[in-house]
Amino acid sequence: MNYPVKEQITQAVVAALEAICTANGYATDGVEVCRPRRTGERFVPRDKGVMVLQDAETRAADEDLIGNPPAIGWRLAISCDVVARVSERETRPMDQVLNMLEADVRKALMADPRFAGLAVRSELGNTEYPGPEEGVEGLTVWLEVMYRVAENDPYVNRA
């Protein structure tokens, strides 16, 4: 199936995160990556779970290119929500557990910041922590992906 470039990028982000395991040089094993429904239904947070959600994309006019057809630039924000569920007998501090997961997610996302030529470039964004009222130990790693498509066809990559 032919997917728009935006979808291809999101699939590439998921694939990069799925590569997290000790055999690939990461500190973490057992990462489970999913793309949940936006409403959250049927979603159960799992230990070392990473939920990938697209945020609103915005125009990146500084990435536009002239041509026939012209290429238009976009900035796609993607949140990678990481969950840690550890036993109460765990002796490591929760921040240490989260720091290891965060580092592995960042490493995976920047292993190929162009995602095999789909993107012009990618940048890591801020890390956010959920409030205590949310009842989840975790964090969100933001990724900003700049990409270009043909002005008249979002299926045509012009990175």
CB 90 within 8 A of CB 52: no
Per-residue confidence (pLDDT) for residue 64, from 0 to 100 = 96
Per-residue confidence (pLDDT) for residue 26, from 0 to 100 = 97
Per-residue confidence (pLDDT) for residue 6, from 0 to 100 = 97
Query: Which domains occur in the chain, in start order?
Result: 5-157 (3.30.2000.10)
Per-residue confidence (pLDDT) for residue 90, from 0 to 100 = 76
Residues with Cβ within 8 Å of residue 56, at least 6 apart in sequence: 77
Residue 150: closest CA among 159, 138, 141: 159
Per-residue confidence (pLDDT) for residue 99, from 0 to 100 = 95
CB 142 within 8 A of CB 79: yes
Per-residue confidence (pLDDT) for residue 134, from 0 to 100 = 76
Residues lower than pLDDT 50 in the chain: none
Between vectors from CA 77 to CA 74 and to CA 79, what angle results, nearest 5°? 160
User: What tokens does 126 get?
Assistant: 């801020």
Per-residue confidence (pLDDT) for residue 70, from 0 to 100 = 95
